[in-house]
Amino acid sequence: MTPGRLPPLNPLRAFEATARHGSVTAAARELNVTHGAISHQIKALEAILDVQLFERGAQRLKLTPQGALLLPTVSRAFEDIASTTALIKRPTTSGELTVTCVPALLSLWLIPRMNQFTEQYPDIRLTLIAANEPDHLRSADVDVCVLYGHGNWTDCWIRLWTTLKLFPVASPTLLNMRPLRSVRDLRNHVLLHGDDGREWNTWLAAADATEHARGAQHFMSDARLSTEAALYGQGVALGDTITASNLIAKGELIVPFDLTVPANNAFYVACRNEVRNAPIVKVFIDWLFASLEADTITEPQTSARRIIRRRNGKVSAPERLAAPPSIPTTRPRRPDRSHKRRAKIDIR
């Protein structure tokens, strides 16, 4: 091969797809050509480069050292071509943008801020879908996914949006009728789950309360439903520092204990590699991160109780929380009547 001359595009494409899948058959299926065509293209590339790119004989094709050296460069080149093509096809920040988002985050965080995005980008028409399905990352009908999970999804662009802390929340009406004087009192309340129970188990373990008797429990498909159930006084749910903060600030939910635990998963923003640099996608993703940075994320304001630990790690009797609130309420307190209002929701 003449120095400085590039190999033909089709053999490089066949090589990249085969190396990525570890299979000629899978590469042929992706590129919509025959098995023989892929094999021919790879042999042609090997002849041009005068090297062997795959070790033959094994069930799954394995790259030679020369093939392993070539693959990252070829993969990046095709990604750059795909990104630039997307820019050409969608050169302006106008048109339709389809976003899937975790239901609780969509209802309680994104939709209340949607007007801010619209004011900045009035020519973008949003389609918002409440879903937490990583499979949408492979759908040509979805542009951006905001997911709650482990973040290990492959073959896509992905970035951590934020981690979370979890803590119990309940409505003031419920706590007026059935106070939470200690963690043990949770047995007199319905536990509302927004998952399969793991997050409540994590919080109870941190409170040394896994052995305590439990009352009724309800399981729901996502945290939005468990939060709504808590708003209606149906039980005690786990809130988080992102979606519950506004409800706490407005006094619609109460935080009975000051114990928070890290969530098992986190929020991520993700999309297909080929659309990442499209302007309409880029401005939405940038807006998501800028809006989060503009928010003041603080520890939740507890209503009355702190969980106290002895030196041996055991939980002792709770005491009144004297620290000032970190999330402001919407109604100013009247000093001459505050003791009466606290008496209604005092959760000793």
Region class of 233: left (phi > 0), else alpha (psi between -120 and 50), else beta: left
* CATH value at residue 107: 3.40.190.10
In a domain, 4, yes or no: no
Same structural domain, 272 and 148: yes
In a domain, 244, yes or no: yes
Average pLDDT of span 4-22? 88
Q: What was the pLDDT predicted at 338?
A: 38
In a domain, 144, yes or no: yes
d(Cα 64, Cα 327) in Å, to the nearest integer?
59
Q: Which of 89, 109, 128 is the last residue before a domain boundary?
A: 89
pLDDT confidence band for 311 (50 / 70 / 90): very low
Among 279, 195, 222, CA closest to 100 = 222
pLDDT tops 80 at residue 245: yes
What is residue 311's DSSP assignment? T
Model pLDDT for residues 81-90, shown as the tens digit of each residue: 887 776 666 5
Model pLDDT for residues 190-229, shown as the tens digit of each residue: 999 999 999 999 999 999 888 887 889 999 999 999 999 9
Q: What was the pLDDT predicted at 83?
A: 73
Within the chain, strands assigned E span: 54-55, 62-63, 95-101, 124-130, 144-149, 157-162, 165-169, 191-193, 217-219, 237-240, 255-257, 261-262, 266-271, 302-309, 315-320
pLDDT tops 60 at residue 114: yes
In a domain, 2, yes or no: no
In a domain, 180, yes or no: yes
Model pLDDT for residues 262-271, shown as the tens digit of each residue: 998 999 999 9
pLDDT tops 50 at residue 330: no
How many residues in the chain?
348
pLDDT confidence band for 306 (50 / 70 / 90): very low
Same structural domain, 124 and 273: yes
In a domain, 1, yes or no: no
- Identify the residue with better confidence: 345 or 10: 10
d(Cα 260, Cα 203) in Å, to the nearest integer?
7
Region class of 22: left (phi > 0), else alpha (psi between -120 and 50), else beta: left
Model pLDDT for residues 125-169, shown as the tens digit of each residue: 999 999 999 999 999 999 999 999 999 998 899 999 999 999 999
Model pLDDT for residues 29-69, shown as the tens digit of each residue: 999 999 999 999 999 999 999 999 998 766 668 899 999 99
* CATH value at residue 35: 1.10.10.10
d(Cα 171, Cα 192) in Å, to the nearest integer?
13
Same structural domain, 150 and 269: yes
The string of DSSP codes covering 5-67 is: PPPPHHHHHHHHHHHHHT-HHHHHHHHTS-HHHHHHHHHHHHHHHTS--EE-SSSS-EE-HHH
Same structural domain, 146 and 280: yes
Average pLDDT of span 92-114? 92
Same structural domain, 134 and 271: yes
Same structural domain, 278 and 242: no
Q: What was the pLDDT predicted at 303?
A: 54
Q: Which of 89, 121, 142 is the last residue before a domain boundary?
A: 89
In a domain, 3, yes or no: no
pLDDT tops 50 at residue 310: no
Q: What is the count of structural domains for the chain?
A: 3
The residues, any chain, with a CB within 8 Å of residue 116's CB and separated by 6 or more, are 287, 291
Helix segments in 144-274, DSSP class H: 172-177, 198-206, 223-231, 245-249
Task: Using only the alpha carbons of the chain, give its radius of gyration.
Answer: 27
Mean pLDDT score of the chain? 83
Classified as helix, coil or strand, 241 is coil
Distance of alpha carbon 137 from its chain centroid, rounded?
A: 13
Q: Which of 278, 294, 310 is the last residue before a domain boundary?
A: 294
In a domain, 40, yes or no: yes
pLDDT tops 90 at residue 333: no
pLDDT confidence band for 308 (50 / 70 / 90): very low
Q: What was the pLDDT predicted at 309?
A: 43
Same structural domain, 188 and 243: yes
pTM confidence score: 0.62
Within 93-181, strands assigned E span: 95-101, 124-130, 144-149, 157-162, 165-169
pLDDT tops 70 at residue 342: no
Same structural domain, 132 and 155: yes
d(Cα 184, Cα 256) in Å, to the nearest integer?
12
Same structural domain, 269 and 141: yes
Same structural domain, 287 and 316: no
Q: What was the pLDDT predicted at 58?
A: 61
Same structural domain, 139 and 178: no
**Vertex 285 angle, CA 281 and 287, to 5°:** 115
Same structural domain, 213 and 336: yes
Domain, as residue range, for 109: 95-163+265-294
